[in-house]
Amino acid sequence: MEAIILSGGFGTRLRPLTYTKAKSLLPILNKPMIVHLIETLPKEVNKIILAVNYRKDQIENYFNENDFGKEIIVNDEPKPLGTGGATKFAEKHITGRFLVLNSDIICSLNLKDMIKFHINNKAIASISLWPVENVSEFGVADVRENGKIVGFVEKPKPEDAPSEFINAGAYCLEKKVLDYIDTGRLVSMEKEIFPQIIEDTNRFFGFKLKGYWMDIGRISSYIDVHRFLLNRNKIKKFQGNNCKVFGTIKETCIGNNVTIGKNSKLDCAVVYDNALIGENVELSYCVIGENCKIADFSDIRNSVIGDNEKLIENTILDNKAVWTQPIPEGYPDKQIGNVIEK
């Protein structure tokens, strides 16, 4: 069985981290987020097709150097194709029933149970569903008690919502779904293809997810998933190899070869490899990129510092994104702005 993992986006809401790294390779507890997903794949999935575009070489190099016991194909899209277009572009690798998964979601979905649910219902397509409180911000599934989905309502008023469940980004599909998708253009599976399947087949189902579900789309959610996983594992910090910590760290993850100076305090922070944090520094709810240097007596809050940046003594930042280097060629030309949105 094959699994297509969507890994081609720029991750613009996670800039400047994604100026230097593919979004799917951003570390969560010092392990690329896409690896967290791969480790949830059941044994029957023996082939992984990575739908990539931006930083394809970086992703390819990572999987050439790391073996996960499955065949991995890096499927380079000539241009961003959307969920549907990326799925269609992988058609030559699909032999039967298959999965389509988003690389930027960390959740408790049991894919083996979802596949079983799909088979038992003789479904053409099954999607994972997650309950939300603010239904008016999403496309909401009109789902029956047996799990059959008969439609979607886009951003309904709470009193008009057919359910509390939204699309949670994991799909189990029969190969015939590929016949619905045009070749070579950007296609939204969710807006263009799923409604057709519902109308034509009446065999579209939703698998309700229990536990946790986090979409790592923003700096805030990227930090939050670290804090959540630390608390879930009942640990106060996560530390890589060869670190020198002379300060205190709480609800914080630090990478390899990180130095933290005397009297420094890190609270709910993510620090990448080879970072140097000086003395009397306070970091709160922020991300510090690889090879960064934060000089003494700095106070950084609600902010993200890109790779290889150097901050002078007494730097005070709140709700900022720091990037002083050239933006990669071809990266969407958008203002960084205030990236933290709580």
Determine the pLDDT at residue 329.
Answer: 87
d(CA 252, CA 284): 9
d(CA 271, CA 288): 5
Determine the pLDDT at residue 189.
Answer: 86
Determine the pLDDT at residue 334.
Answer: 54
CB 130 within 8 A of CB 209: yes
Locate tokens 């549907």: which residue? Answer: 84
Residue 215 has pLDDT above 80, yes or no: yes
- Over residues 136-176, the pLDDT tens digits come to 888 889 999 899 999 988 888 888 888 999 999 999 999 99
d(CA 230, CA 251): 7
With left for phi above 0 and alpha for psi between -120 and 50, is residue 201 left, alpha or beta? alpha
Q: How many other C-beta atoms can be found within 10 angstroms of the C-beta atom of residue 154? A: 9
Q: Which residues pair with 318 in a beta bridge?
A: 301
Taken in order of first residue, the domains within the chain and their CATH numbers are: 2-215 (3.90.550.10), 233-322 (2.160.10.10)
Residue 335 has pLDDT above 80, yes or no: no
Mean pLDDT of 295-299: 97
Average pLDDT, the chain: 92
Lowest mean pLDDT segment, chosen from 15-19, 186-190, 194-198 = 186-190
Choosing from 31, 79, 155, 250, the catalytic residue is 155
DSSP string of 19-48, one letter each residue: HHS-GGGSEETTEEHHHHHHTT--TT--EE
Determine the pLDDT at residue 29.
Answer: 96
Residue 328 has pLDDT above 50, yes or no: yes
Integer-rounded Cα radius of gyration of the chain: 21
Residue 333 has pLDDT above 80, yes or no: no
Mean pLDDT of 330-339: 54
% of the chain with per-residue pLDDT over 90: 78
Mean pLDDT of 67-86: 87
End-to-end Cα spacing for the chain: 39
Lowest mean pLDDT segment, chosen from 101-110, 130-139, 240-249 = 130-139
Mean pLDDT of 204-233: 94
Determine the pLDDT at residue 341.
Answer: 32
Phi, psi of 194 (to 5 degrees): -60, -45
Determine the pLDDT at residue 255.
Answer: 97
Active site residue 155: yes
DSSP string of 124-167, one letter each residue: SEEEEEEE-S-GGGSEEEEE-TTSBEEEEEES--GGG-S-SEEE
Residue 10 has pLDDT above 70, yes or no: yes
Band (227; pLDDT cuts 50, 70, 90): very high
Determine the pLDDT at residue 175.
Answer: 96
What's the angle, vertex CA 229, arms to CA 226 and CA 230, rounded to 5?
Answer: 85
- Over residues 17-76, the pLDDT tens digits come to 999 999 999 999 999 999 999 999 999 999 999 999 889 899 999 999 999 999 999 988
Phi, psi of 93 (to 5 degrees): -100, -5
Query: In 3D, which of 192, 132, 125 has the Cα closest to residue 156?
Result: 132
CB 285 within 8 A of CB 267: yes
Q: Tokens for 184?
A: 């070579």
Determine the pLDDT at residue 184.
Answer: 79
